[in-house]
Structure 1
Amino acid sequence: MMMERIHREHSYMVRLLAVLQKKIAQMHTELPINYTLVKEIVDYMANHSERVHHPKEDILYHYYTEHYGHKQEMEDLEQEHELLSDKTHAFLNTVEMILQDAVVPRHIFVEQLDEFIKVQKRHLEFEERSILPLIEQSFNLHDWQEVEKRWNVGEDDPVFGDTIAEEYQQIAQRVRQGERESV
């Protein structure tokens, strides 16, 4: 079901944000970090969100508005997705500059990484606490069938799916390590 996939994708993003949060802790203690891993995570969050995750959510939001009336929060989300994309790509550019040996002061990078994490978490929490419960309470079986019909994109997740994309090997390995560590 579409809602289950959205919740699962949110949990994946939260896990990746936790990895990034650890990078901030490392930087505060003057430990080096793997900028390539940071780039992979941010790149994954940008690309997967833009191609799969946000379009799926937008189907729900549009359907809700069409059938259950105007809610400003729903209409604001599409614009928020665009703003989130812009901020994510701006931060991704900073990481890519560092990987190309540009000098970015450590404190500036930490501030940008911290802001990136906060913006992402705020967005996820807003959807999980306000928007998705409203949709779940409102939709009936017919509604779910209709939104599923509108979704026709393949969903093999390049990090958490069965086939790991070459460009995301480090993330997948790090996520699997984290899963073993937490057992």
Structure 2
Amino acid sequence: MMMERIRREHSYMVRLLAVLNQKIKQLQAEQSINYSVVKEVVDYLASHSERVHHPKEDILYHYYMEHYGHKDEIENLEYEHEILSDKTHEFLNIVEMILQDAVVPQDMFIEQLESFILAQKRHLEMEERSILPLIDKSFNFHDWQEVEKQWNLGEDDPVFGATIAEEYQQIAARVRQGEHESI
């Protein structure tokens, strides 16, 4: 069911944000980090959200508004997805600059990383606490059938699925092992 898939994806995102949070702790302890892992996490959050996750949520939100009326918090979600996407790509650009040997002050990077994590967490928490319960409470069996018909993309997650995409090998290994790498 679509709601379970969305919530499962949210839990994946929370796990990846924890990996990034660990990077902040390492940097604050003046340890070096593997910036390519940061890039993989942010790239995954950007590409998977834009290609799979947010379009799936948008189906729910549009259906809700068509059949149950307009609520401000739901009407703003598509716009919020766009803003979150812009912020994610801006942060991804900073990480890519670092990987290309650009000098980015560590305190600025930490601040940007903290801001990125906070924006992601706020969005997830808002959806989990307000939006998804409202939809879950409102939708009946027929509604769920109708939204499921609108979703026709494959669901193999490139990090958490059965087949790991080559570009996400590092984070998949860390997430699956529950490790925190030091370099």
TM bucket (normalised to shorter chain) is over 0.9
**1:33-48 correspondence to structure 2 within 5 Å:** 33-48=33-48
Secondary structure at 2:19's aligned position in 1? helix
Whether 1:142 and 2:142 are equivalent positions in the alignment is yes
Secondary structure at 2:76's aligned position in 1? helix
**1:73-129 C-alpha deviation (Å, 9 max, x unpaired):** 111000000000000000000000000000000000000000000000000000000
**1:9-48 correspondence to structure 2 within 5 Å:** 9-48=9-48
Q: CA deviation at 1:131?
A: 0.1
**1:117-150 C-alpha deviation (Å, 9 max, x unpaired):** 0000000000000000000000000000000000
Q: CA deviation at 1:177?
A: 1.5
Distance 2:162 2:114 in 1: 31
Which residue is equivalent to 1:122? Answer: 122
Distance 2:93 2:63 in 1: 34
Secondary structure at 2:178's aligned position in 1? helix
**1:26-60 C-alpha deviation (Å, 9 max, x unpaired):** 00010000100000000000000000000000000
Whether 1:131 and 2:163 are equivalent positions in the alignment is no
Gaps of 5+ in 1: none
Q: How many residues align?
A: 179
Gaps of 5+ in 2: none
TM-score (norm 1): 0.97
**1:153-178 C-alpha deviation (Å, 9 max, x unpaired):** 11110000010000000010000111
Which residue is equivalent to 1:59? Answer: 59
- The AA in structure 2 aligned to 1:19 is V
Secondary structure at 2:158's aligned position in 1? coil
RMSD: 0.6
Which residue is equivalent to 2:81? Answer: 81
